[in-house]
Amino acid sequence: MSTPNILFIQADQMAGPALPMYGHKVVKTPNLQRLSDRGATFLNAYCNNPVCAPSRFSMMSGQLSSRIGAYDNASEFLASVPTFAHYLRDLGYKTCLSGKMHFVGPDQLHGFEERITTDGAVSLMQTSLRISKL
């Protein structure tokens, strides 16, 4: 049996009922629909924290945000906390991260091998630094 590809998409404030794979009749999302048709779509989900960063850290670590000390968007996600990316790499997967994660602190990968994009604020800061060096 071949190892399956895994594409995990997490979006802020995207309600399931607003998507066609969950029954919406007007909204069109052909690429998401195609992924849903060919993969797994979850019918029930639970968010461990209503705040963005603690919720993401909880999802990545499989632990409650209170256990890993993530209480707000300024919380550092400690590099010592293992994530699903660490476990996937242990299984031989190539891991790549793209998009906003609100990682605070020196570890901007948390088990991923590479990161295509950074959080917006970091990106803007890097752009400003490049411009100021010209």
Instruction: Identify the active-site residue in 47, 86, 102, 110.
Output: 102
Asked if 110 is an active-site residue, the reply is no
Asked if 52 is an active-site residue, the reply is yes
Rounded to 10 degrees, the C-alpha dihedral 46/49/52/56 comes to -60
Instruction: Identify the active-site residue in 24, 52, 86, 96.
Output: 52
Residue 96 dihedral angles phi and psi, to the nearest 5°: -145, 140
| Distance (Å, whole) CA 134 – CA 130 | 7
| Distance (Å, whole) CA 57 – CA 69 | 10
Q: Which residues are catalytic?
A: 52, 102
